[in-house]
Amino acid sequence: MTKKPSLERVDTANPEWSTEDFAKAKPASEVLGGLFGKAQAKEMLKPKRGRPKSVTTKEHVNVRFDADVLERFRASGPGWQTRMNAALADWLKTHTPEELKA
């Protein structure tokens, strides 16, 4: 069952491509290379995978905390590790780790 396209729904600002349009088309790598340079075009066209890299990366470490400290942070729900990091960063604004040496 084929329906005729509704004239109300035809996008006149973006018409359907003709055979001539396809013949004139160029690969994105050529067009972007002319506009931004080959290196930048190659980077723009490279598939992005996973989460975008953060400007400030975090380091993975193994640390041991008291069970009650972990319990309190975990009880605060999802994002508890981020809140724990924020609490330590806030503490470092007014203290130094050297203060704890005994």
Instruction: Tell me what the mean pLDDT of segment 86-92 comes to.
Output: 95
Q: What is the pTM of this model?
A: 0.47
Tokens of 31: 């067009």
Q: What share of the chain is helix, strand, coil (3-state, %, to 5)?
A: 55, 0, 45
- pLDDT tens for each residue of 60-83: 999 999 999 999 999 999 999 999
Lowest mean pLDDT among 5-9, 44-48, 76-80, 81-85: 5-9
Flag whether pLDDT at 32 surpasses 80.
Answer: yes
Rounded to whole angstroms, how far apart are CA atoms 55 and 11?
A: 41
